[in-house]
Amino acid sequence: MSTLFQSFNLSDWVLDLWILATASLVAAACALVGVFLILRRQALMGDAISHSVLLGIVLAYLISGTNALWVMLLGAVIIGLVTAWLSETLHKVSRLQSDASIGIVFTLFFSIGVILVSLYTGQIDLDQECVLYGEIAFVPFDTVIWGDMETGTDLGPRAFWLILIVFAVVLISLLVGFERLKTVTFHPSLAVSLGINITFWHYFLMTLVSMTTVASFDAVGAILVVALLIIPAATAYLLARSLKTMLWLAVAYSQMAVWLGYAIAFWLNSAIAAAIAVSAGLLMGLTLVLIQLSKQYHKRTHAHPLRQIKD
Amino acid sequence: MSNQPPLKVDQLSIRYHHKPVLTDVSFEIPPGQTVAIVGPNGAGKSSLLKGIMNLTPAIQGKVQFYGRTLEEKRLTTAYVPQREEIDWDFPINVMDVVLMGRHGQLKFWQRPSRCDRQIAEQALKDLKMWDFRDRQIAQLSGGQQQRVFLARALAQQASLYLMDEPFAGVDVATEKTIIELFKQLKAKGNTVVCVHHDLNTVGEYFDHVILINARLIAAGPAHQVLTQANLNKTYGGRLSLLNDLTEQMYRSRLDNAHPGD
């Protein structure tokens, strides 16, 4: 009896570990691409793509009939790029503001996705709740099995492998293309004058955003992924003096949010993803307050000698 | 290099939202000189530079760099945009901005080499900004920001420099440094083309002047082009008023620079 109890406890702990590992990778990947979205003032585009990839996933599934990882990724990337391209075209052709065009395109795509999900509920392993909010607690139960369904080895959660692959792709892309991404982000017209193809780099970044959001889907859903894309990167922006430190800080903040959020969820017995998003917000608020306080402290220490002179 | 002119513009026309900004502008620039593009606000000076660099699509016209297309001559052409164009809060330091001038020579996976760093260092020293190399760009004054931009162009080691209002809103020290830079570039046989707004200094700083106001008014050596008749044509009747205004502004700026006088 006691051995049974122990092994049960151990597998419980393993579940927690899978959840935490998945959440950490999701948060880190989102933070990295989020930095570029923030600096390029395209935070809304991140929001848009994170929603429209739903349509990509559903279409990919309906067309191919499988839910293999690479099919989902491909569907999401294609729809993500179409979202970026269509928003820009709408903005140019109709002369609507660019944020309005983005809002029109992604809500349309997302709604079509929702309709398809409700039409084919029986066939698609997605429900509307899950799409919107995700459920990271269920992540460990949907596993990848190597070999036969009955006898094969369990390799661990599907969501974990998906985000691991995507995180690796994002990391390698940033390492290899770092200098170009920096130039294109900092000063597009300079980049053009140097002969750099900024359109390519724009869509390259949108590809990374699409992959990241689709991989984050299972874990945190379409709404909360936006929090992870924007908040850690925005917090890092408040502090960073170079692009490299901004990337490191964003990842550090995202990891702190994951740990803090997990603790809060455990304590309140609440939804994990939401608790992570709230923690990211809390950390941002705390950082803002600390920055303001240190500014005032500096002002006071600098003003002090002057006041003495006046007296 | 060759006996082709550094820059030849042929019947360039630019429209913005269906409104003509520039119509049928043609001119040629001699090598090794400083050239000013002068005209009133909204005359299309910046658009002309952007059109030349293909940053704004031209509806017609041809631009040649040393007799070649822009694509072939990108690396020998350095463009310095207006300072307002970028986000000065961007997390980047001075050295990294200047190193961007080397990106045209680098493949996308390459990092700047030791040689690139030496070139950037020299550019910063030439513009007296070496001491600021580790500063974040947000912590610079307007003049210092302009010098960083110019250092970046210098690091490109081009032979033709196109600058959009480098003297706008800079301090006296920066203005002197830029003039110094012009002399240096000319001594190497390089050509500098600037959008310029201050009529009081055009004759002093530039060898060659292009007057535009939606169309080309005149182009040629400064002393030939800067006549009352040409200026009247460029600025319309507003010239005398404008002249007084710029003179006043210039005076007040001098007063600000030397408050004790």
Residue B30: DSSP 8-state? -
Contacts for B245 with CB less than 8 Å, ≥ 6 apart: none
Residues 35-64 in A contacting B (C-alpha not used; CB under 8 Å): 39
Chain A nearest C-alpha distance from B156 (Å): 9
ipTM tops 0.90? no
Question: How far from A8 is each of A16, A20, A138, A140, CA to CA, in Å?
Answer: 13, 19, 17, 15
> Which chain B residues touch A179 with a CB distance below 8 Å?
103, 106, 108, 110-112
Lowest-pLDDT range, B33-42, B142-151, B176-185, B222-231?
A: B222-231
Determine the Cα angle at A294 with ends A292 and A295, to 5°.
65
Please report, for chain B, how many H helices and E strands are present, in that order.
Answer: 10, 9
Torsion of CA A216, A220, A225, A229, to 10 degrees: -70
- pLDDT tens string for chain A (311 positions)? 444 444 456 677 788 888 899 999 999 999 999 999 999 999 999 999 999 988 998 899 888 887 788 888 899 999 999 999 999 999 988 888 989 999 999 999 999 988 988 888 666 666 666 666 667 777 777 777 766 666 667 777 888 988 999 999 999 999 999 999 999 999 998 899 888 999 999 999 999 999 999 888 777 887 789 999 999 999 999 999 999 999 999 999 999 999 999 999 989 988 888 899 999 999 999 999 999 999 888 888 766 554 444 44
Domain coordinates in residue numbering, chain A: 25-225
- In whole angstroms, give the CA distance from residue A281 to residue A227: 8
b/e map of A126-138 (b: 16 or more CB within 10 Å)? beeebbebbbbee
Q: Which residues of B touch A246 (CB under 8 A)?
A: 91
Per the DSSP assignment, residues forming a β-bridge with B68 are B65
CATH tag, A25-225: 1.10.3470.10
The torsion angle over the Cα atoms of residues B214, B218, B222 and B227, rounded to 10 degrees, is -100
Contacts of B108 in chain A (CB under 8 A): 176-177, 179-180
Using an 8 Å Cβ cutoff, are B226 and B182 in contact?
Answer: no
Beta-bridged to residue A77, according to DSSP, are none
**Domains identified in chain B and CATH numbers:** 7-257 (3.40.50.300)
Could you tell me if A248 lies within 8 Å of chain B, comparing CB atoms?
A: no
Q: Nearest CB to A243: which of B92, B103, B104?
A: B92
**DSSP labels, A266-301:** HHHT--HHHHHHHHHHHHHHHHHHHHHHHHHHHHHH
Convert the pLDDT of each residue in B88-141 to its tens digit: 889 999 999 999 999 888 888 889 999 999 999 999 999 999 999 999 999 999
Rounded CA-CA distance B169/B186 in Å is 24
CA-based diameter of chain A, in Å? 86
- What are B34's strand-pairing partners? B192
Q: How is A182-249 classified by DSSP, letter by letter?
A: HHHHH-HHHHHHTT--HHHHHHHHHHHHHHHHHHHHHHHHHHHHHHHHHHHHHHHHHH-SSHHHHHHH
A182 touches chain B (CB under 8 A): yes
What's residue A311's pLDDT? Answer: 40
Which chain B residues touch A39 with a CB distance below 8 Å? Answer: 87, 90-91
Instruction: Give yes or no for residue B255 having a pLDDT over 70.
Output: no
State how far the Cα of A24 lies from the Cα of B117, in Å rounded to an integer: 37
Q: Touching check for A172 and chain B: CB below 8 Å?
A: no
Q: Is pLDDT larger for residue B219 or for residue B241?
A: B219
Report which of B235, B185, B215, B175 is spatially closest to residue B33, judged by C-alpha positions: B185
By CB atoms closer than 10 A (0-12, 13-18, 19+), residue A308 is exposed
Residues of B in contact with A182 (CB under 8 A): 92, 96, 100
Token pair for A50: 């994170």
Nearest CA in chain B to A35: B91
Provide the terminal-to-terminal Cα distance of chain A, rounded to the nearest Å. Answer: 81
The answer to which of A64-73, A185-194, B74-83, B197-206 has the lowest mean pLDDT is: A64-73
**Residue-averaged pLDDT of chain B:** 86
Phi/psi region, residue B145 (left: phi>0; alpha: psi -120 to 50; beta: rest), is alpha
| A123 exposure class (CB count in 10 Å sphere: 0-12, 13-18, 19+) | exposed
Q: Which of B47, B56, B88, B96 to mutate to test the interface with A (most CBs of A within 10 A)?
A: B96
Q: Which two tokens stand for residue A257?
A: 């949010």
Q: Are B201 and B182 in contact (CB under 8 A)?
A: no
Are B108 and A177 an interchain contact pair (Cβ–Cβ within 8 Å)?
A: yes
Rounded to the nearest 10 degrees, how much is the dihedral formed by the CA atoms of B141, B145, B150, B155?
Answer: 120
